[in-house]
Amino acid sequence: MSRFRKGIFDTVMLVVVIVVFLMALMFLFYLSRYGIVKIKGDVNVYLDVQDKGSKIISFVKCERGGMNYMEIIGSFDGMPEDIRKQIFTTLRHIGASGLIVRDLSSGKSMVYGKGTSKATISLPDNFKIGWPVETHKISSGYGWRIINRKPDFHGGVDFAVEIGTNVHAVYDGTVASVGRGCEASPSGGCHISCKETKDKYCCCNGGLGNFVVIKHRVNGETFYTHYDHLNEVRVDVGDEVRKGDVIGKTGNTGYSTGPHLHFEINKQMTKHDETSVDPCPYFPEFPENCEQGSQSISENEASFYIDIPLPGGRRGKMGLIE
């Protein structure tokens, strides 16, 4: 190649590199200015992430398994775990921590947040546990709920009871862990975040207050029952307990907004939301409000609402929780 031709080639290549560089800069500027992102995977939709209305409209048009999100979420039915994960991935991409869907015709509302539990335990057919307290009024059931304007997964059920009510072991087992040394907050309830402050009352024992954990083994399956926010603990680690034994008294210790017993079945001694098990089917009777299900949620729980059509010609609203 002659020097002349080589010079032309080098010049052309330099121009190409400069043009590509300028185009990349323009794209990055456009991306930062208008917030256009692409959701990867099975979802193929562009979202204007700076406009809340566009966020919701784009979100409900996303598809998974041949159905758009509006059809999946608007049905108010359970959804497969893979679809749930994809929906929460989409929420994360548009900067939302959850969403609220409201059916205006029925008044039903559902909360969807990141993550959930699908843990199960293999127990004999018709296996039942006892009641942890004699009063079966549930103030907060198992599943998603709103706490401080954020979706919160509740891994157990809260029984509304007076302080000092007997707490019973729901099945035969061995005491695996106990927590003591907590007093109820003088204010009567906690409305702070233990991530931001270490209040000695509300954050005692990690917010659990005084607690008991019992290990159970049935037909080779091991699981744990948790009893939190107690006023008094009457057992020690290693004690063998029988179904119905009194193991403590209810209270209002730890992160609690009022007297109650938090009861939970978990596959781990140190409980995690993802290893919690829905206890409702195992009670002698399925208690009212045992699962969160449809909820009464005020519109100010979400940062923005938009009217959307729901399946079956129903009218609805959808709000993002940021």
pLDDT of residue 5: 62
Report the pLDDT averaged over residues 50-54.
61
What sign does the dihedral 286-287-291-293 (CA atoms) show? Answer: positive
pLDDT of residue 46: 37
| pLDDT digits 0-9 by tens, 147-170 | 766 667 889 999 999 999 999 999
pLDDT of residue 267: 95
Q: 3-state DSSP: the chain helix, strand, coil percent, rounded to 5?
A: 25, 30, 45
Identify which of 49-53, 70-74, 311-315 has the greatest average pLDDT: 311-315
- In whole angstroms, what is the distance from residue 240 CA to residue 233 CA? 15
In contact, 225 and 264? CB cutoff 8 Å: yes
Q: What is the mean pLDDT of the chain?
A: 79
- In whole angstroms, what is the distance from residue 136 CA to residue 128 CA? 15
- In whole angstroms, what is the distance from residue 284 CA to residue 302 CA? 37
Q: Determine phi and psi for 39, rounding to 5 degrees.
A: -85, 125
Task: Assign 76 a pLDDT band (cuts: 50, 70, 90).
Answer: low
Query: C-alpha angle with apex 68: 63 to 71, nearest 5 degrees?
Result: 155
pTM of the model: 0.67
- Whether the per-residue pLDDT at 215 is higher than 90: the answer is yes
What sign does the dihedral 256-257-258-260 (CA atoms) show? Answer: negative
- In whole angstroms, what is the distance from residue 314 CA to residue 322 CA? 26
- Whether the per-residue pLDDT at 53 is higher than 80: the answer is no
| pLDDT digits 0-9 by tens, 179-201 | 999 998 887 778 777 766 778 89
Residue ranges of E strands in 10-52 = 36-38, 46-48
Task: Assign 263 a pLDDT band (cuts: 50, 70, 90).
Answer: very high
Q: How far is CA 293 from the centre of its chain?
A: 13
| pLDDT digits 0-9 by tens, 77-132 | 556 666 666 777 777 777 776 777 777 777 676 776 655 566 788 888 889 999 99
- In whole angstroms, what is the distance from residue 96 CA to residue 318 CA? 13
Least confident of 17-31, 115-129, 252-266: 17-31
pLDDT of residue 227: 98
**Two tokens at 204?**
């005692």
Of 109 and 302, which is predicted with more confidence? 109
pLDDT of residue 212: 98
- In whole angstroms, what is the distance from residue 132 CA to residue 166 CA? 8
pLDDT of residue 218: 95
- Whether the per-residue pLDDT at 23 is higher than 70: the answer is yes
